[in-house]
């Protein structure tokens, strides 16, 4: 009978272990590390297998699979988006992910990705802001103060040196929660009563609301020249946050156009609406911010390569630690053709 030590075990990072790991590394350090991994993968963008995520929509939300491969490793994330969930005491977004070895096809990591997604999304936002936001940006308006908001704020602090955040949410309890969580984190926090108040003096405008509709979180007249918009919340067909007029006045940067045209803010624009792929900026092929009066817009929907980078980081980071347990999830008989024999030998 196969001994446990011979089994092909798969490291599994639970929610508890992910939280332990984040506290061990430090949340800001981990977002800097993740941004580096994402940046590395954006620089080798062309060699990845890419496909818009596979989405299953319902009236109340969406369940998606996000696969990609660099030829050596293959990763996917399972993720949902259910804006109505918070009113039922559940998360809007939950996720888990898997990394596999392309050569054997065997999984090499299974991990929670609800928290990891918040970190990778924030790290990607801050990485984009590094290239697109006005140099020396100090102040961000954070509109939508839900699950992602503290992560978005801390990544901007860790990666581009943000000093102050101005919070607004149409649910005051969310703003209070976010302000409380950010206390003592080394960033000035200003709670605002209106979105107009939140954007006062901000060089970066982050929208991160959740509503399954064409919402207008920022109207055209709210956006002055020279700002960077980090639009996170519009990430699904029929779910947007910005007035189309803003898009017409902005230089729009996206992850993967075939996916963003379906899911992003630009779903409101004609199919040939000009966008720049963010990876091209990061690889030095296209300019990012070119002028002081330019409005830059990162129309973020979240792409599989960012999850792949996060999975890669976790695989590397947990080696030699106890931040995982081994899962017996692969039937791997000593004689590969004797699956039945292995089953029979396990008969009680
Ligand atoms: P959440 O439900 O925890 O928070 C959303 C917040 O938006 C809530 O506090 C809600 O009160 C607020 N809100 C809703 N309508 C508003 C309005 N009109 N004005 C101001 N505030 C409003 O959700 P979350 O996990 O923080 O995610 C936010 C959004 O980001 C979701 O739509 C999610 O799908 C998206 N998301 C995108 C990425 C990405 O990679 N781009 C990653 C994760 C989540």
CATH number at residue 71: 3.30.1780.10
Q: 345 C-alpha vs ligand 1 centroid, how far in Å?
A: 51
Which atom of ligand 1 is least distant from the CA of 149? 26
pTM of the model: 0.95
Q: 110 C-alpha vs ligand 1 centroid, how far in Å?
A: 26
Q: 207 C-alpha vs ligand 1 centroid, how far in Å?
A: 8
Quick check: CB of 61 below 6 Å from ligand 1?
no
274 falls within a domain: yes
Quick check: CB of 264 below 6 Å from ligand 1?
no
Question: pLDDT for 249-299, tens place per residue?
Answer: 999 999 999 999 999 999 999 999 999 999 999 999 999 999 999 999 999
Residues 160, 53 share a domain:
no
d(CA 79, CA 168): 26
Q: 233 C-alpha vs ligand 1 centroid, how far in Å?
A: 5
Residues 132, 44 share a domain:
no
Q: What is the residue whose two structure tokens read 């009680």? A: 348
Quick check: CB of 152 below 6 Å from ligand 1?
no
65 falls within a domain: yes
Q: Return all residues near 152 (Cβ < 8 A) that are at least 6 apart.
A: 121, 122, 125, 142, 206, 208, 230, 232
Which residues belong to the active site? 235
In this structure, the residue with its CA closest to atom 7 of ligand 1 is 209
Residues 291, 144 share a domain:
yes
96 falls within a domain: yes
Quick check: CB of 51 below 6 Å from ligand 1?
no
Q: Distance between the two ends of the chain, CA-based, in angstroms?
A: 13
In this structure, the residue with its CA closest to atom 19 of ligand 1 is 170
Question: pLDDT for 93-120, tens place per residue?
Answer: 999 999 999 999 999 999 999 999 999 9
Segments forming the whole domain that contains residue 327 = 6-115+305-345
Residues 169, 253 share a domain:
yes
Which atom of ligand 1 is least distant from the CA of 93? 25
Residues 160, 237 share a domain:
yes
Quick check: CB of 121 below 6 Å from ligand 1?
yes
Structure tokens at 12: 């599994």
Q: Is 109 helix (H, G, I), strand (E, B) or coil?
A: strand
Residue 7: the pLDDT is: 76
Question: pLDDT for 1-60, tens place per residue?
Answer: 334 446 789 999 999 999 999 999 999 999 999 999 999 999 999 999 999 999 999 999
Residues 248, 182 share a domain:
yes
Quick check: CB of 55 below 6 Å from ligand 1?
no
């Amino acid at each position: 009978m196969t001994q446990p030590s011979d089994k092909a075990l798969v490291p599994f990072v639970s929610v508890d272990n992910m939280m332990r790991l984040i506290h061990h590394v430090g949340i800001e350090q981990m977002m800097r590390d993740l941004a580096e991994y994402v940046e590395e993968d954006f620089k080798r963008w062309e060699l990845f297998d890419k496909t818009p995520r596979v989405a299953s929509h319902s009236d109340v939300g969406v369940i998606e699979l996000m696969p990609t491969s660099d030829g050596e490793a293959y990763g996917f994330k399972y993720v949902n988006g259910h804006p109505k969930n918070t009113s039922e005491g559940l998360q809007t977004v939950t996720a888990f992910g898997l990394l596999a070895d392309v050569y054997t096809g065997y999984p090499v990591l299974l991990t929670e990705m609800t928290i990891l997604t918040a970190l990778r999304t924030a790290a990607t936002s801050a990485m984009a802001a590094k290239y697109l936001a006005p140099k020396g940006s100090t102040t961000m308006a954070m509109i939508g103060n839900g699950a992602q908001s503290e992560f978005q704020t801390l990544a901007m602090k860790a990666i581009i040196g943000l000093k102050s955040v101005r919070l607004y949410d149409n649910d005051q309890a969310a703003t209070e929660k976010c302000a409380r969580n950010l206390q003592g984190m080394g960033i000035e926090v200003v709670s605002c009563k209106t979105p107009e108040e939140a954007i006062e003096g901000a060089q970066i405008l982050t929208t991160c609301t959740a509503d399954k509709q064409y919402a207008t979180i920022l109207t055209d007249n709210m956006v002055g020249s020279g700002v960077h918009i980090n639009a996170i919340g519009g990430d699904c067909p029929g779910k947007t946050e910005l007035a189309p007029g803003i898009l017409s006045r902005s230089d729009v940067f996206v992850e993967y156009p075939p996916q963003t045209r379906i899911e992003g803010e630009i779903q409101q624009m004609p199919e040939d609406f000009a966008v720049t792929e963010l990876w091209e900026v990061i690889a030095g092929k296209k300019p990012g911010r070119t002028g002081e009066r330019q409005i830059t817009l990162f129309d973020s929907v979240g792409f599989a390569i960012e999850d792949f980078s996060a999975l890669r980081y976790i695989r590397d980071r947990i080696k030699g630690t106890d931040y995982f347990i081994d899962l017996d999830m692969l039937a791997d008989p000593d004689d590969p053709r004797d699956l039945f024999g292995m089953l029979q030998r396990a008969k009680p």
